Amino acid sequence: MSRILVTGGSGLVGKAIQRVIETEPEGSKYGKQPGEEWFFIGSSEGDLRDPAATDALFDKYRPTHVIHLAALVGGLFKNMKYKLTFLRDNTLINDNVLRSAYTRQTSKVVSCLSTCVFPDKVEYPLDETKIHSGPPHESNFGYAHAKRMVDVMNHAYKEEFGCNFTSAIPTNVFGPHDNFDLEDSHVIPGLIHKCVLAKKNGTPFVVSGTGKPLRQFIYSIDLAKLFIWQLRNYDDVEPLILSVGEDEEVSIKQVADAIVKA
């Protein structure tokens, strides 16, 4: 019997995993397996910054496996304005989840990191050995350092206690249940919101910058399937980069054009 707890279960990726588990045929590659129970929890169920509240959630659900997605997240401006808050809150969340998983003898934890963990000045192609080779971009200072520490703690738990704790580094995610707040969203949902407002108000659709920068994106449902695969098949402590190939990068202008066409 496997009991899988998904923290951050009410967010973009958590909802995508829930959709895959509930819609793929039972027993299939990505579907719910016989003997599995899945639990998706959001912040309303408990404050993961609080050690006692985190322990209580682990005692309630008694997970054998955890996909750890919960985090304090925000757009560029929030990350720049609240660096200490993003650093401290996410460090507390991650430390409490991993500590509770260890003390409750959870078999495996897969934590979600972010591409912002990579150094600001890094040579491509990216791989897991480059995470700690330089400081992250200043705009993500707090969030990036907190996420980096998950990788550090995973290694420490494995070396000291033999824990099967690992992580994933997804590229920019988009999909259903995204955050479309203009001041707090990521690229694609932000552009969609701007385009909708421009159409509604009969005003120009203005995209900041040149539109030339290249980005990688992954659809949340595709990412969900990769997380499910990693939970069942990947036991290395080194982070797994979940991304598309460099040949699939698209410019911001291409993204904006696709949104207008849609």
46 and 53 in contact (C-beta within 8 Å)? yes
Query: Which region, left, alpha or beta, applies to residue 209 given φ > 0 means left and ψ of -120 to 50 means alpha?
Result: left
Instruction: Give CA angle at 14 (9, 20), nearest 5°.
Output: 125
Contact 223, 16 (CB under 8 A): yes
Q: Phi-psi category of 8—alpha, beta or left, where left has phi over 0 and alpha has psi -120 to 50?
A: left
**Candidate list 143, 157, 219, 234, residue with the active-site label:** 143
CB 47 within 8 A of CB 90: no
Known catalytic membership, residue 157: no
**Phi/psi at 109 (nearest 5 deg)?**
-130, 130
In DSSP notation, 65-89 reads EEEE-------HHHHHH-HHHHHHH
Between CA 36 and CA 52 the distance in angstroms is: 27
> Could you list the active site residues?
143
